[in-house]
Amino acid sequence: MKSPKMLKFEVLAERRVYEAVKKISMIANLSNRDNYEYIDEHVQ
């Protein structure tokens, strides 16, 4: 049987990893030059 602390960790970790992956995906969308215009200096 899992302890309450382990259950709490699993719930929080799953939610936080999901949100982190979603935000990384949103950052990756910025590289689409069809949607945005930028120069290499902006990237640095």
Question: Do the domain assignments include residue 2?
Answer: yes
Question: Do the domain assignments include residue 43?
Answer: no
Q: Domain residues for 11?
A: 1-29
Question: Do the domain assignments include residue 38?
Answer: no
Alpha carbons 36 and 28: distance in angstroms, whole number: 12
Question: Do the domain assignments include residue 40?
Answer: no
Assess contact for 30 and 36: CB atoms under 8 A.
yes
Question: Do the domain assignments include residue 39?
Answer: no
Alpha carbons 5 and 10: distance in angstroms, whole number: 9
Question: Do the domain assignments include residue 16?
Answer: yes
pLDDT tens for 1-37 read 999 999 999 999 999 999 999 999 999 998 888 988 9
Question: Do the domain assignments include residue 44?
Answer: no
**Helical segments of 1-44, H only:** 4-29, 40-43
Task: Say how many domains are in the chain.
Answer: 1
What is the pLDDT at residue 42?
A: 86
Global pTM reads: 0.67
Q: 21 by DSSP, 3-state: which?
A: helix
Question: Do the domain assignments include residue 37?
Answer: no
